[in-house]
Structure 1
Amino acid sequence: MQGRNLADKIDIVPVSGKGELNAFIDLTYRLNANDPNWVPPLRADMVELLTPGRNPFHEHARMQLFLARRDGRDVGRISAHIDELALEQPVEQGMGPGTGNWGLLEAEDEAVAHALMAAAEDWLRGQGMTRSLGPISLSIWEEPGLLTMGHDHPPMVMMGHHNAAYEGWVESAGYEVAKRLLTYDLEVGDGFPSIVNRIVKSGERNEAITIRNVDKGKFAEEAEIIIGILNEAWSKNWGFVPFTETEKAYGAKKLKPIILEGANMIAEVDGEPAAFMISLPDLNEKLKDMNGKLLPFNWAKILWWLRNPQGAGFRVPLMGVVRKYQNTRLASQLAFMMIEYIRRYAVGEHGAKRAEVGWVLEDNKGMIAIADAIAATQNREYRIYTKPL
């Protein structure tokens, strides 16, 4: 792919070596610098994400990064990658044999975006893939989808934000929507509608139900319970790829510093784990003005803020209910109880005013019904696109 020359003098260069990796990472800061709602990711996190041996995703994946250059200047980037575990999933669940991915797209203009997508497609085709699915950056569990609604406000922690023009550029390259991912915004200060409160009180009278905080003192064991429920609860969902044992340990280590015990719940029924809900303070509120840098003092500012993130918004990125309770009234009751207890904690201890739930698959009727019941409103949409190769 070296030196691929298009009519407008765009060269597509496979990334190799530390210098080009740094250029790949640096480009996102320059291209998004003028977007008031873009939140610069921590540069150290980007290096870790893309480095085999540091991110366990690479233990079961193949990846090639590409830079686009025009007149010797970097003008775009993209990743092409294949998740071997995704290839093993059923086709009807969105992944499956022959499905490769692209992600981390940044481009100065439509011609650059098209050249980059073509390069990613060529690489995937050369690896034997028959379908391109993206953007997924890099795993379905990280930042899947292209933002197509909600550009007027910053994303919450662990959510992406993209140039609004990318939607048209991706679709003009022949991609069709495979799945929409939705997020929901809600005001939390005044509580939820009365029907939700009645359901919560009913659950509190049920002696079989226990809702407890996650215990950070034994967080590895708690993470094992949570991911065990997640792997089972989500196993039939579109896009599902199971966590490996290495990824379980890695994820627990990454999440622990931003976990607040009162904002994370495990529900038990008859003494057995039945559901969980993860809620995170919106770290993006602190990252926004750091330009991706932790040194010399930003790391200390983050740690201090996490001790008591007053006024922070909270995001619920993950919840799950074991399959035997799914599609039952008990599943909804557990969800309402956990989200109400998290709301009480976030408002009472940290003065939270708003929260966000998501992402939620567009056809997840159960979660959408819960969002409607708590008077949440859709505030962002992400799209994952597909194209035959």
Structure 2
Amino acid sequence: MVEIRELGRNKEELMHFINFAWEIYQDDSNWVAPLKSDLLKLFLGSDISKKLDCGPHTFFMVFENGKPLARALVGINEKMNLKKNINTGYFSCFETVNSTKAVKCLMDHALNWLKKQSINRLIGPLYPNDDVDNRGLLIEGFDSSPVLMTSYNPTYYQQLLEEYGFKKDADFFAYYCDNFDMARARVDKIASFAMKKYHFRIDRIDLKQVDLEIKDLIKIIELIVAHGQEEENGFEYSSPPSYEEFSLEVKKLLPFVDRDLIYIARSGDAPIGFVLALPDYNQVLKKMNGKLLPFGFIKYLWYKNKIDGIRGFAQYVIPRFRNKAVNAAIFQKILLAAEKKKYRYIEGSSINENNLKSRRVFENAGIKPYKIYRVYHKIF
């Protein structure tokens, strides 16, 4: 008999929730296991970012004769709902066996839980209050492992969600570049021309002055928000961060930063845009299989210096400098650094299919999408 349980907020129950993913992906060589300890901290609310503090949430698991079939984290981002004047819930950490009845049981209970809190729309899969991590369901591009902080799932998830009644809300593209010479040949002229014509320069973010740099980065985001352009700049499913939230996120990433991959554009002393990229630490996580101890940390130290990929995951330009090739000029710097430091590839992700300005940065350089992620919605 199929039954559903709402899990308790304790280590034992939540570890059942976490460990279920290993059952789904045990024979999938492309899957990259997350760190179990990080997930447990997130779920218990003891992580630095406090992402689940955005609103009420719960953990559902479906079982049949004691065997787990499906799971999901279901919640409400109250800050986003208030900002956008909507009544929307989200689902995250969705995993399931290939079973229509399991998904129906799971989602029926998710909708009932949300209805009791006056919610009438469900979106997902999404990471809580985050438009960078694991956004959307992978629907194209299953032939390679995911890069850092991107989604991966079995191919059958799409059919199961759509059979339940979920509709496409938006698709997001990932771009892959491993021909740096071709990309630079197209970007170099554009970047040089734009910097001279529009009077801006590209600076490497100074990690020795990180607090001052963070203030400039948040100024850029605040200007974007003030002009009502946050959804055009990646905040489709979350609310723009406060200075404190953004500072925490940046500082959390500092141990993993390659200082040659993070740049800010300035006109005079005024910050006008930035792009952040990180080495693809999924190459390391894949070796660790979700465990930091006893040998995971040793593997981390060994493999982190062998990373040969990059993920560019954040690009913002203030309204006055949009359409002036600011992102292209920063991308030129990242390409130069990638060549110099012997990186093999760069992924830029994930970009809303309707964000043509950001897509052109890659497509004008001859780079095409190679993965597509879909966020779904269901009105009830």
TM-score by length of 1: 0.89
Q: Which residue of 2 aligns with 1:173?
A: 164
Tell me which of 60, 65, 71 is aligned to 2:65. 71
Give the residue type in structure 1 aligned to 2:364.
A
Alignment of 1:295-334 (within 5 A): 295-303=293-301, 305-306=303-304, 308-309=305-306, 312-326=308-322, 328=323, 330=324, 332=325, 334=326
**Bigger Cα displacement from structure 2, 119-128 vs 47-56:** 47-56
Is the 8 Å Cα contact of residues 15 and 65 (structure 1) preserved in structure 2?
yes
For residues 68 and 240 of structure 1, do their structure 2 counterparts lie closer, same or farther at Cα, with a shift above 3 Å needed?
closer
Aligned position for 1:277? 275
Deviations along 1:86-137, one digit per CA (max 9) or x if unpaired, are 10233xxxxx421111111111122212211111111111111011111112
Preserved contact between residue 188 and residue 355 of structure 1 (Cα < 8 Å): no
Deviations 1:238-263 (A, max 9, x none): 33411134422321232111111111
Please give the alpha-carbon distance, in whole angstroms, between the structure 1 residues aligned to 2:287 and 2:185.
39
Percent of aligned pairs with the same amino acid: 24
Partner of 2:31: 38
Gaps of 5+ in 2: none
Displacement of 1:48: 2.2
Give the whole-Å Cα distance in 1 for the aligned partners of 2:302 and 2:230. Answer: 38
Q: Aligned-pair distance for 1:223?
A: 2.9
Cα deviation for residue 230 of structure 1 reads 3.2
The answer to whether residue 68 in structure 2 is matched with residue 80 in structure 1 is no
* Aligned residue in 2 for 1:107: 96
In the TM superposition, what are the counterparts of 1:7-46 in structure 2 within 5 Å?
9-16=1-8, 17-46=10-39
- Structure 1 stretches lacking a partner, 5+ long: 1-8, 91-95
Tell me, what secondary structure is at the counterpart of 2:165? coil
SS, match of residue 383 in structure 1: strand
Preserved contact between residue 56 and residue 246 of structure 1 (Cα < 8 Å) = no
- The one-letter amino acid of 2:320's match is K
- Please, which moves more after superposition, 372-381 or 240-249? 240-249
Contact 1:281 1:309 in 2 (8 A): no
Q: For residue 59 of structure 1, what is the aligned residue in structure 2?
A: 53
- Residue 373 of structure 1 is matched in structure 2 by 364
Structure-1 separation of matches of 2:221 and 2:28: 35
Q: Is the 8 A contact 1:13 1:66 kept in 2?
A: yes
Q: For 1:211, which of 188, 194, 202 is the aligned residue? A: 202
Q: Would the aligned equivalents of 2:90 and 2:126 in 1 still touch at CA under 8 Å?
A: yes
> What amino acid is aligned across from residue 74 of structure 2 in structure 1?
A
Distance across 1 between alignment mates of 2:242 and 2:273: 20
Secondary structure in 2 matching 1:163: coil
Q: Please tell me the residue identity of whatever aligns with 1:335.
A: N
Aligned to 1:137: 127
1:336 matched to 2:328? yes
Distance in structure 2 (CA, Å) of the matches to 1:254 and 1:267: 23
- Give the drift of 1:33: 1.5
Q: Is the 8 A contact 2:42 2:52 kept in 1?
A: no
1:359 aligns with 2:357: no
The correspondence of residues 227-306 of structure 1 with structure 2, limited to 5 A, is 227-233=218-224, 235-237=230-232, 238-303=236-301, 305-306=303-304
Match of 1:161 in 2: 152
Partner of 2:111: 121
Instruction: Tell me the distance in 2 between the aligned counterparts of 1:165 and 1:207.
Output: 48
Could you tell me how far apart the structure 1 residues matched to 2:215 and 2:37 are? 26
Counterpart of 2:376?
385
The 1:281/1:322 distance shift into structure 2, 3 A limit, reads same
Whole-Å separation in 2 of the counterparts to 1:137 and 1:196: 33
Distance 2:117 2:219 in 1: 32
What is the deviation of 1:209?
A: 1.9
What is the Cα deviation at residue 187 of structure 1? 1.7
Alpha-carbon separation, structure 2, partners of 1:377 and 1:131: 33
Instruction: Report the AA paired with residue 135 of structure 1.
Output: P
SS at match of 1:192: helix
Corresponding residue for residue 224 of structure 1? 215
Count of matched residue pairs:
369
In structure 2, do the counterparts of structure 1 residues 205 and 242 end up closer, same or farther at CA, with 3 Å as the change threshold? closer
The question of whether the paired residues in 2 share the 8 Å contact of 1:230 and 1:319 is answered with: no
Residue 231 of structure 1 and its aligned partner are, at CA, apart by 4.8
